[in-house]
A and B are shown apart, each in its own frame.
Chain A
Amino acid sequence: MPEVPITPEAVIELLTSEHILEPQEPILPETDLFTLGLDSMAMMQLLLQIEQRFQLTVNPSEMTRERFATAGSLATFLREKRRLAA
C-alpha cells in the first residue's frame, strides 16, 4: 500500500473525517487543537487512526503537548518519525 503523505492538511482531514474533532470554524495548521476539545478520549482514537492511516505506531510516552498542539506540529512529528523508521 502506498504511503499516505503526512502534511498538516492530511492531519486535519484525519481529525475531521474520523469525527475526532468537530469545530465550528475550519481547522488551520496552526490552530490549537486542545481548545477544540482534543481530550483523553479523542487522543485514544487519534492514536489508532494515525496507525491505520499513516502506518505509524506512536508510543504513548511520545505524545507530548508540543507535538500534538497543532496539526502542523503533529505533521512535523509524524514525518520525522516516518523518516527515522525508513
Chain B
Amino acid sequence: MLTLPATTVDYFLAGLESFMRRSGQDTHWGVTVLKLEGKPDADLLARVWEQIHAHHPMLGARLKRVWRGWRLAWESQGTVPAPAITWHPTQSVPPDKNILRERFQGQVGSKPLRSPLLMEVFPFGDHDQHVILLTWRHALLDGTGINLLLEKMASGDASAGPPEPAPPKRHRMRDVFQRARPLMKRLHAMTSAGCLSAWAKGGAKGGAPDFHVIEFSQEQSERAAVRLRTACGDFLQMPFYAAVAARALRLLHERRGWHSPQIHLQLPFQSRGRSRDLLFGNHTGTLPLFLDAGALGTLEEAVSHLLERYREAMREEMPKASEALMTLAAHLPVGWFIPAVRLSNCGQICSLFHSHTGSFLPGRGEFAGAPVQNVYNIPNVCSPPGLGIFFSDFAGRITLTLSWRRGSVSPEEVETVNQKIQEDLTGGR
C-alpha cells in the first residue's frame, strides 16, 4: 500500500464533497473541452494516456485516515490501468449540452463514472473537426492540475512521474492554532458583515447543476484584452476576472433588493510546489478577500480595490493562516468542518468561485497533432454559493462559463450576470 501526502486543499474538497453528498448534490466534477480543427493522433493520445496512468498512482488513490496523527492521506494500491479512450462515431454537430451536462454530473449513459479521469473523442462535421472531452473529479484535479495535465499530454511525453513527496511536517497544534487565528477572525467578520452569495438562505440546496458557455469571438476577446492590459498589465488576469465576477454578483444582489455590504471573494493562491510533473492532488488554496460593495463602482475601481485587499491579506499572512486552518480541519471528521464553516458563515460558505487558470497550453497551437481551436473548463458548483463564474483563455480567446444550481439562480438572473460580465469585458458591444 502506497501512502501519499494530501494537501490541505484536498482536505477542504473532501469536506466539500461530503457536504455535497449529504445535501443531495452528488460529487464535484469538472469537464474540459478541447476543440480541434483536425483529427488528433490516436496512437499518440493512447500512449500519453497510458503513460499518465502508469506513472501517477494518485489516479487509483482514496483519501483515508492514517493512524499516525489521525490525519487524511491518499492511499493507493499502485498505478491503475488506463481506462479506454472512447472514440464516438462521427456526428454532424459537436457533442450537445446533454452530453456535457451528463459528464459534469460524473455520469456516462446515466451511470456514475468509476474512474476519476475520462477521455472521449467526438469527431463531427465535414471538415474532420474533433472535440476531446476530459471529465475529471475535482477531488483529484483542480484548475492548475488540468492545465498541467493538458500541457503534459500536448508534449507527447508523459514518462516522468511526480517528484518524490516531501515527508509530512509535524506541527505543534498550539502553533497551528495561532497561525490560523487571522483567518478565523476574517471568517467571523464575514458573518457579522452579512456577506451574501447567490444562494438565498433557506433556499434549495439540492437543485440540479446547470451551465452556460459563452465563447467570445476573436474581436470581443481582443477588446477584453485591451481592457485587461489597461487595468492590469499583461499578466494579472486573475484580479481582473475576479473583479468582473464580483461586480456581476453585486448586480445580482441589487436586482434582488439584497444588501450585502461586502462581497466575499475566494481568490486562489498556489499552495504547493510548482513542479510541472505534479499533476494530481489540488494545487491551489483560497485567499478570502472582502470587497466593499461600494468600492466596485467601475471596473477600474474594483480592480484597484481588489489588489489593495490582496496586498493586505498577504501582509496578514493569510495563505499561512488558510493552510493552518485546514491543517486543524484535517484532524476533524470530514463531515464536520464544512458544516462548521457553513454555520459560522451563516450558510454562505463563500460568495462565488471563479477560475484562475490564465492561458491554456501557453505557446502551443496543437494538441496531439491537431490545431487547437479553443479550450475551456466547465466545473460544477454546489449550493451555497449556488453560482460559479469561470473564465478560460486560449491563445487570447476568452470563454466564460457560468455554472449554477437550479433553484439558486433563475435563468433570467443567469442572463443578467452574463450581460453584466460581457459589458465589463467588452464595453457592451
Query: Which A residues have a C-beta under 8 Å from some C-beta of B?
Result: 19-22, 24, 34-35, 37, 39-45, 47-48, 51, 59-65, 68
B230: contacting residue among A45, A61, A65, CB under 8 A: A61
Q: Is the CB of A48 within 8 A of B284?
A: no
CB distance from B283 to the nearest CB of A (A): 9
Question: Are A64 and B233 interface neighbours, CB within 8 A?
Answer: yes
Looking across the interface, which residue of chain A has its beta carbon closest to that of B160?
Answer: A24
- CB-based contact B284/A22 at 8 Å: no
Q: Are A60 and B236 in contact (CB under 8 A)?
A: yes
Task: Please name 18 pairs of A and B residues whose Cβ atoms are closer than 8 Å in the assembled complex, sorted by A.
Answer: A22-B273, A22-B274, A22-B275, A39-B359, A41-B268, A41-B269, A41-B284, A41-B358, A42-B274, A43-B235, A44-B269, A47-B236, A60-B239, A60-B307, A61-B229, A61-B233, A64-B234, A65-B235
Contact with A along B63-104 (1 / 0, CB 8 A): 000000000000000000000000000000000000000000
Choice from B231, B236, B273, B276 contacting A40 with Cβ under 8 Å: B236
For the complex, what is the distance from the CA of A65 to the CA of B229, rounded to whole Å?
A: 11
- A65 vs B363: C-alpha distance when bound (angstroms): 14
Name the distance in Å between B146's Cβ and chain A's nearest Cβ.
13
B356 on interface, CB distance cutoff 8 Å? yes
Inter-subunit contact B276/A37 (CB<8 Å)? yes
Q: Is the CB of B270 within 8 A of A45?
A: yes
Are A37 and B356 touching (Cβ within 8 A)? no
Q: Is the CB of B231 within 8 A of A60?
A: yes
Q: Does residue B362 face the partner (Cβ distance < 8 Å to A)?
A: yes
Q: Which of A24, A34, A44, A48 contacts B236 (CB 8 A)?
A: A44
Q: Which residues of A contact B356 (CB under 8 A)?
A: 40-41
| Residues of B229-279 whose CB lies within 8 A of A | 229-239, 268-270, 273-276
Residues B269 and A45 in contact, CB atoms below 8 Å apart: yes
Across chains A and B, the number of contacting residue pairs, with CB separation under 8 Å, is 74
Residues from chain A with a CB closer than 8 A to the CB of B311 are: 48, 51
Q: Is the CB of B233 within 8 A of A40?
A: no
Task: List residues of B (270-311) whose CB comes within 8 Å of A's CBs.
Answer: 270, 273-276, 284, 303, 307, 310-311
In the bound complex, do residue A34 and residue B362 qualify as a contact, i.e. CB atoms below 8 Å apart?
yes
Are A39 and B269 touching (Cβ within 8 A)? no
A65 to B237, CA, bound (A): 13
List the B side residues contacting A43 at CB < 8 Å.
235-236
Cβ contact within 8 Å between A39 and B275: no
Docked Cα-Cα span, A60 to B404, in Å, equals 32
On whether the beta carbons of B363 and A35 are closer than 8 Å, the reply is yes
B270 and A41 form a contact (CB under 8 A)? yes
Contacting A19 at CB < 8 Å: which of B232, B238, B273, B310? Answer: B273
Would you list the 8 A-B pairs with minimal beta carbon distance, nearest first? A63-B233, A22-B274, A40-B238, A39-B358, A40-B358, A40-B237, A43-B235, A60-B233
- Is B314 in the interface zone, CB < 8 Å from A? yes
A44–B310 touching, CB < 8 Å: yes
**Contact call A63/B234, Cβ cutoff below 8 A:** yes
Identity of the chain A residue whose Cβ is nearest the Cβ of B363 in the assembled complex: A35
Question: How far does the Cβ of B412 sit from chain A's closest Cβ, in whole Å?
Answer: 32
Cβ B274 vs Cβ A19 within 8 A:
yes
A61 partner, pick from B232, B268, B273, B274, beta carbons under 8 A: B232
Identity of the chain B residue whose Cβ is nearest the Cβ of A59 in the assembled complex? B233
Please report the C-alpha to C-alpha distance between residue A21 and residue B275 in the assembled complex, in whole angstroms: 8
Residue on A nearest B283 in the bound complex, by CB: A41
How many angstroms between the C-alpha atoms of A20 and B273 in the bound complex? Answer: 9
Contact in complex: B232, A60 (CB < 8 Å): yes
